[in-house]
Amino acid sequence: MNPKLIIGLLVLAVLTVIPTIVDGQRRFRWGQDTETLDFVKKLNGIPKKFGDWECTSESELSPTSLQLLTPFNSITRTYFNQREKINVNLFVLLGPTGPTAVHTPDICFDSREYKKIGNRKAISVDMDSNSGEKSDSKFFRTEFKSRNIEEQGLKSIYGWRTSDGPWLAAEQPRWSFADNRYLFKLQATARFPSVETMKDSRVLENFVAEVERNLEQTVFRSSPNP
């Protein structure tokens, strides 16, 4: 056989097989490691009642979402605050870095039903730890108004993190977390009777702070490093 042909076939094999193996490892096509399985179990421990919040419903991801996100585990719940009289939809996801990083609320809500107000903003929800120190976490906050005559408000807060770092409002999450095989995503969304009510309220920010505190206690405490 022609030596040049052999070399060409070897190069082609390397260019084809290695990316396939790397992608397969990142998507855990050959099984999850013990660390990931541990986080999968811990994610189910997120409490259904904390502070003034209580879970009123829980649902599963749709078949389309499962196919797009390929999650290892996820939590989709609605919490109700009896004092504030408001519902918040909570979504916590653990999955492969690529699919987990690319999907944002801007895609979901900026459509026929809602219009985005301004640009998303990186914020702190000011979660105090037991020592009294503030969290280093940052989340994106995006606000929308409905396209109907009532102009109701909708606010979404979301961010990503690895197993051993703060939550981050990463501008390019796919590149920021490229070295990680898996990624966590937190997203909380609330609807308000008007844009003015939404602007004046910090109930969603407070909810995310409480969720972050609970995740530290139930999921990330004493977790092994990646």
Give the residue extent of every domain in the chain.
1-31, 32-220
Q: Which is it for strands 153-161 and 86-96: parallel, antiparallel or unpaired?
A: unpaired
Q: Please, are residues 189 and 158 in contact by the beta-carbon 8 Å criterion?
A: no
140 pLDDT more than 60: yes
The whole-number pLDDT of residue 17 equals 37
The whole-number pLDDT of residue 150 equals 87
Percent of the chain with pLDDT over 90: 59
Alpha carbon 161 to chain centroid, angstroms:
8
Q: Name the burial class of residue 142, with classes exposed (0-12), middle (13-18) and buried (19+) by CB atoms within 10 angstroms of its CB.
A: buried
The whole-number pLDDT of residue 210 equals 94
The whole-number pLDDT of residue 121 equals 95
Report residue 97's pLDDT band, with 50, 70 and 90 as the boundaries: very high
The whole-number pLDDT of residue 112 equals 74
- How far, in Å, CA of 225 to CA of 221, rounded? 11
The whole-number pLDDT of residue 9 equals 46
Report residue 145's pLDDT band, with 50, 70 and 90 as the boundaries: very high
144 pLDDT more than 90: yes
Largest CA distance in the chain: 79
178: left (phi over 0), alpha (psi -120 to 50) or beta: alpha
> Mean pLDDT throughout 18-44?
62
- How far, in Å, CA of 61 to CA of 74, rounded? 8
Report residue 26's pLDDT band, with 50, 70 and 90 as the boundaries: very low
The whole-number pLDDT of residue 25 equals 40
Residue 221: other Cβ atoms inside 10 A: 9
Q: Point out the least confidently predicted range of 73-77, 101-105, 143-147.
A: 101-105
Report residue 7's pLDDT band, with 50, 70 and 90 as the boundaries: low
